[in-house]
Amino acid sequence: MRYSELHCKTNYSFLLGASHPDELVDRAVELGYHALAVTDDHSLAGVVRAFAAARLTKLKLIIGAEITPNDAPPLVLWATDRVAYGRLSRLITVGRRRAPKGQCWLSFSDIQTHSQGLLAGIVPMLRGDRSRTAHID
């Protein structure tokens, strides 16, 4: 059975990820992964270095991002093609432009507007962990 990691943050997710994208790709190859999804927090920043490293291997790189809407639980969004990658990039830009530096303000409606070609997964929370959804009424 082949394993694919679908939710991996790089060091471009400040205080959430520790490794450089190329290091994550190298380790995924060492472990025999079929695919690796780079899903930084409200960002596609780790994708370029991950892509450069993955293209030298047989590892399939999946491009995505973790998005936490203001009115819904955190989601991981994966782009299915280049057009969807553009939509994901646009979605993140919309959220970053309306928020103070370093933040991203998006609603679930924003995600729906830009969702064509994107796959979504809900990020599971640990029991009792309300830190990521405390803002939801």
Residue 18 neighbours by CB under 8 Å, 6+ apart: 11
Span of 10-14, 77-81, 114-118 with lowest mean pLDDT: 10-14
Model confidence at 131, pLDDT cuts 50, 70, 90, reads: low
User: Tokens representing 115?
Assistant: 């969702």
Does any domain span residue 129? no
Does any domain span residue 72? yes
Does any domain span residue 31? yes
What mean pLDDT is predicted for residues 5-13? Answer: 91
CATH number of the domain to which 83 belongs: 3.20.20.140
* Number of folded domains that form the chain: 1
Residue type, 58: K
pLDDT value, residue 127: 57
Does any domain span residue 67? yes
Residue 49 phi, psi dihedral angles, 5° rounding: -70, -35
> How do residues 46-69 score in pLDDT, each as one tens digit?
999 999 999 999 999 999 999 999
Does any domain span residue 135? no
Q: Answer yes or no: are the C-beta atoms of 84 and 118 closer than 8 Å.
A: yes
DSSP string, the chain: ---EEEEE--TTSTTT--S-HHHHHHHHHHTT-SEEEEEEET--TTHHHHHHHHTTSSPEEEEEEEE--TTS--EEEEESSHHHHHHHHHHHHHHHHTS-TT-----HHHHHHT-TTEEEEEPP--TT--TTTTT--
Q: Is the pLDDT of residue 128 over 70?
A: no
Model confidence at 114, pLDDT cuts 50, 70, 90, reads: very high
Query: Who wins on pLDDT, 6 or 12?
Result: 6
Does any domain span residue 17? yes
Which residue range(s) make up the domain with 117?
A: 4-122
Does any domain span residue 127? no
> How do residues 21-47 score in pLDDT, each as one tens digit?
999 999 999 999 999 999 999 999 999
pTM, entire model: 0.88
